[in-house]
Structure 1
Amino acid sequence: MCGLFGHRWTTHGAGSQRQLVEQLQSVYRMLERGILKSERVLSAMLATDRALYTDRSPYTDAPQPIGQKATISAPHMHAYALELLADHLRDGASILDVGSGSGFLTACFARMVGSTGRVVGVEHVWRLARRSTENVRRDDPNLLGNGCLRFVVGDGVLGWAEGAPYDAIHVGAAACKVPPKLVEQLRNGGRLLVPVGRPGRAQWLTQVDKKPDGSVSSRKMTTVTFVPLTESRHSQ
């Protein structure tokens, strides 16, 4: 996966989550991109140790395979997504994470919305849903025990109607178009973040905002490369 704005970045020598985050701050400060600018995002990323969610070079700023043809995104992509959604990740908010994968970003969401918030991670591969639950349990079992966070098996294209409406929806895989069901499940005033593009073609991380009156606008944020969003009938 290419980095933001077409760059590839590798954090050299990072031996801990703190060192990784500090290097991300340093690199993107020099670029004047402001990737990590919120204390709330910084705190969530520092509290969520990537080594608990992947055993493949966890502190390198690059995507890593997690099995089942899925990947965990590069840390800078997680930071970028958290910053774009930060205003919607307030205490008590309801969040949907489609294609939750390893559960890393889902755990960050849970930390940012607090114990009164609700976060649902949707995975079409039951093995990944089970593994992400185990990852979070090793990280902080209270996130699961207090009912703030749960993982379900389902078709991400259809979202998860049971928990709707959501203040924010994040999609961790590329859709050919913005899934209509996800827009429907977004609360008025909410935000959807989804990579859009067909396999082998340019993909755009797309921000979809539903205004208070229910009207919808979208904005292309940056080019990205994600694995395809796969429907549940293709799961194993």
Structure 2
Amino acid sequence: MSWRSSGKTNIELVETLKKNGLIKTTGVYEAMKAVDRKNYMIESHKTYAYQDSPQSIGYSVTISAPHMHAMQLELLHAEPGQTILDVGSGSGIICAYLGKIVGKEGKVYGIDHIKELVDWSIENIKNDSPDLIEDGIVNIVEGDGFVGLPDLTFDAIHVGAAAPEIPQALIDQLKVGGHLVIPVGTYSQSLYDVIKTEDKIVQNYITGVRFVPLCSKKEQIN
């Protein structure tokens, strides 16, 4: 998959992801076309922006492969007007994708515990899609992903790093009917689509994955 869905340009990359069945809905398709992955890469890796593979962005963090982003975006079922949380927002690209989907009536909050990544991700979005910042659609803050943003609730939550177990705080912040898409595990990891209903939490296994760990700031820096 990581070689079949590459392209020479962002548009070609997205068209290939769609052709290979990884992009299924119009919202995800239009968002991924509108956000240029190259603008979320560190300078030394921009040459590889349209390869369907993860790339380092520093601080022991990677930007996930485009096929994984497409898969996670589809699982989130994001819609215009929703409020969505991105935990471990890294480069800011998922926030940008989601910002394009939710539009001016929605809100996307990103959270990362590395201040330098928070600042860099905001600059990335300003360079790529300045309206998302200027219109207050996307907000990225420094904080603990395990805790989330307790004063808010969300229609969907995306987690971009693997937690040892699903954080209860994120389940608490998920609205009924919402999707929490999260990789879970340490050495062996699985991607889950967690759905909150009125009376239970449903955990749907999606596939095996390999993500950087969701950890403390000190652990990540070390």
Tell me which interval the TM-score lies in, with the shorter structure as reference length. over 0.9
Secondary structure of the 2:183 match is strand
Which residue of 2 is the match for residue 202 of structure 1?
Answer: 188
Corresponding position: 1:22 with 2:10: no
Which residue of 2 is the match for residue 42 of structure 1?
Answer: 29
Which residue of 2 is the match for residue 9 of structure 1?
Answer: 3
Which residue of 2 is the match for residue 52 of structure 1?
Answer: 39
CA distance in 2, matches of 1:125, 1:235: 9
Aligned counterpart for 1:177 among listed residues 165, 174, 185: 165
Corresponding position: 1:69 with 2:63: no
The normalised TM-score by structure 2 is 0.93
Give the C-alpha shift of residue 10 in structure 1.
5.0
4+ runs deviating over 3 angstroms: 232-236
Aligned counterpart for 1:227 among listed residues 207, 212, 219: 212
CA distance in 1, matches of 2:62, 2:4: 17
Answer yes or no: is the 8 Å Cα contact 1:95–1:168 preserved in 2.
yes
Where in structure 1 are there 5+ consecutive unaligned residues?
1-6, 29-33
Secondary structure of the 1:158 match is coil
Give the C-alpha shift of residue 91 in structure 1.
1.6
Corresponding position: 1:102 with 2:88: no
Compared CA separation, residues 91 and 25, structure 1 to 2 (3 A): closer
Alignment RMSD, CA only? Answer: 1.4
Compared CA separation, residues 116 and 65, structure 1 to 2 (3 A): same
Q: What amino acid is the match of 2:157? A: I
Give the C-alpha shift of residue 122 in structure 1.
0.3
- The number of residues matched between the two structures is 217
The normalised TM-score by structure 1 is 0.88
Q: What amino acid is the match of 1:226? A: F
CA distance in 2, matches of 1:114, 1:39: 14
Which residue of 2 is the match for residue 4 of structure 1?
Answer: none
Give the C-alpha shift of residue 234 in structure 1.
3.8
Corresponding position: 1:136 with 2:122: no
Secondary structure of the 2:146 match is helix
CA distance in 1, matches of 2:184, 2:76: 17
Where in structure 2 are there 5+ consecutive unaligned residues?
none
CA distance in 2, matches of 1:234, 1:152: 19
Residue by residue, what CA displacement relative to the aligned partner does 1:60-97 show, whole Å, maximum 9, x if unpaired? 000000011100000000100111112xx112101000
Q: More displaced, 126-135 or 52-61? A: 52-61
